[in-house]
Chains A and B, each alone.
Chain A
Amino acid sequence: MELTTLEQHLLLAIRGLHPNAYGVSIQEHIKDRTGREPSTGSVYASLDRLEEKGFVKSRQGEATAERGGKRKLYFTITAPGQRTLRESLAAIDALSQGLRWKGAAV
C-alpha cells in the first residue's frame, strides 16, 4: 500500500507526538520540521483516509474553553499503519541509496 508524502508526514507526526497527537499539535509538528504547514482540511481529509484504511485510530478527548467547547480528536497509529510507514520509508531509503548529490562533499 502506497502512502502520499502528506500521509507519511502525518503518520510520523502521530508516532512522534504519541499520545498527544491531535489536529493542532500535528500541524505544528509538521511545520516545525518541514517548514510547511498543511491546512486543517487536508490534515483531516488525509486522516479520514488513513483511518478508513485502518492505519490510524481516533478517540475523542477533552473539550476546553479555548476550543469553544469542541472536543479534541486524538490519533494513534495502528500496527498495520506502522508496518506500512516502515515499508514506505524503506522504499525511499532504497531509492536514495548510492545517490551522489551535486556539490556535496565526497
Chain B
Amino acid sequence: MSQTYRRKIRFRGNTGNLEELYVPVPSKHMQVKYISQWSDEFRSTSNDVYIKLEDSNGFSNEGLYLYVDEAAGIKNLHIEVDADIEAARPKTDDCEPPSGAEFLLTMLATTRRADAMIGDLNERFTCEYKEFGRARAVRLYWARTLRSLPPLVWRAIGKLVVAVVKRFFGLSSA
C-alpha cells in the first residue's frame, strides 16, 4: 500500500564551499520511493546565480541529494524543488509496537485521549523502527510511555480530588 504526496521541498541555508547539498524529505514519516519531477535550476537570492544540477538522479530513502556545480562562494541559497514523493506505508510484519502500554494509558485517561496517546506512541515507534531497528525502537517506546505516566497520574489525582470536594461540599457546576 502506498500513497503519493505532492510536496514542495525547500532548502535554505549557507552553502559555503559545498559541492553536495542534501535536502531532507519534509516529514520523517515519509520514505521516498521515487521523485518524478523537479526543476533543474535554482536561483540564489544574493546574486541571482543559477546553479545547474550535475546529477539529477541522486536520492536516498530519506531525502534528495543534489550535486551542485560551481556552488563555491554562493551564500543564502534558496532552493525549491517540486517533487512527487511516493510515501510508502511501513511494513506491518515484525514492526508491531510492544503491548502493555495500552493498558497503562487506558487506566489514566479517557478512551478518546488514551487512543490518541497510544496512536502517537505507535506512530513514533513505526518511524523509529525504520530508522533504528526494533531493539532501540522498543526501548524508546517504553521510555516515552514511562515518562508519560507521572503527569497523567497527577492529572487523574487532581480530577479525583476536585470530584470528591465537589461531592462532599455540595459544589456543583449545574
**Residues on A facing B (Cβ under 8 Å):** 22-24, 27, 39-42, 44-46, 48-49, 58, 60, 63-68, 70-73
Contacts and interface: CB of A to CB of B under 8 A. Distances in A.
B29 interface: yes
Nearest to B116: A73
Given A66-B29, A68-B97, A40 B120 contact: yes
B133 interface: no
Nearest to B108: A41
A73 B152 CA distance: 17
A41 B90 contact: no
Contact of A40 (B96, B97, B112, B144): B144
Given A70-B118, A70-B119, A71-B115, A41 B148 contact: yes
What is the predominant secondary structure among interface residues of chain B facing chain A?
helix
Interface stretch (B14-22, B78-86, B122-130): B122-130
What is the predominant secondary structure among interface residues of chain A facing chain B?
helix
Interface of B: 1, 29, 89-90, 92, 96-97, 108-109, 112-113, 115-124, 126-127, 144-145, 147-152, 154-155
A77 B76 CA distance: 35
B124 A24 contact: yes
A70 B113 CA distance: 10
A40 B121 contact: yes
Contacts of B155: 45, 48-49
B64 to A, nearest CB: 20
A40 B124 CA distance: 11
Contact of A44 (B90, B113, B126, B147): B113
A66 B151 contact: no
